[in-house]
Structure 1
Amino acid sequence: MKDESIFKKIINKELTASIIYQDKIVTAFKDIKPKAPIHILIIPNIFISSSNDIDEKNKDILAHMFYIAVQIAKKKKISEKGYRIIINCNKDGGQEINYLHMHLLGGKKLRPLS
């Protein structure tokens, strides 16, 4: 399936986005509707629809996404006080864009989820 989503356009630098990190595996950029002072999205550079589509061939991408999230948290100086990493899956799980993505949130005290 060829993906023409907004995320693919950001990866290809066809759209102006606040990219803060990019390598051959992932791209990280500021969320346009932040829910915290620091709200970064981390996405794989290859299309994966949701976490349900993690398989034997692409499972290492998820580990790299987590690694990069931690590195960004350290760089943004939120690792000591704390941060949240969220991956939503499908509509009922809150996934709004049909492209696997990780939210890194921090910079303030976050409310408990329950």
Structure 2
Amino acid sequence: MDCLFCKIVNKEIPAQIVYEDDRVIAFEDISPQAPVHVLVIPRRHLATTLELKEEDESLTGHLIVVGNKIAADRGVAEKGFRMVMNCNREAGQTVFHVHLHVLGGRFMSWPPG
């Protein structure tokens, strides 16, 4: 498999890791869209959210809990932040490994895209 995020999980390529545990790893986005832009990914390869099944409910919840922790650690939780998961190309997914964007530190407009 030639997945960029799997290579980060396996420490084959460097990343600025800000959190990791046995289920997920979080790192700074290399092309940040906000002052805080961290990606939270499962260690297990899942190409899109469409591959998530009922047995993955605790994993998806854990992604959000870790996102909340990162927002608090980065000082954006109280002012506001955004968590985004894109699914497939038309939604803006460019790396096909499930990932949660945690964005904050600036005003977020609506609609987003």
- In the superposition, the TM-score normalised over structure 1's length comes to 0.94
Q: Structure 1: how far apart are the matches of 2:2 and 2:66?
A: 24
Q: Does 1:81 align with 2:79?
A: yes
Partner of 1:30: 28
Partner of 1:105: 103
Aligned length: 112
Partner of 1:55: 53
Unaligned runs of 5+ in 1: none
Q: Give 1:6's aligned amino acid.
A: L
- Given candidates 34, 39, 42, the residue that maps to 1:41 is 39
Displacement of 1:14 in angstroms is: 1.2
Unaligned runs of 5+ in 2: none
Partner of 2:9: 11
Q: Structure 1: how far apart are the matches of 2:14 and 2:91?
A: 28
Identity across matched positions, percent: 36
**Superposition RMSD in Å:** 1.0
Misfit runs of 4+, over 4 Å: none
Q: Give 2:75's aligned amino acid.
A: K
Displacement of 1:4 in angstroms is: 2.8
Q: Does 1:91 align with 2:76?
A: no
Q: Structure 2: how far apart are the matches of 1:113 and 1:29?
A: 26
Displacement of 1:66 in angstroms is: 0.2
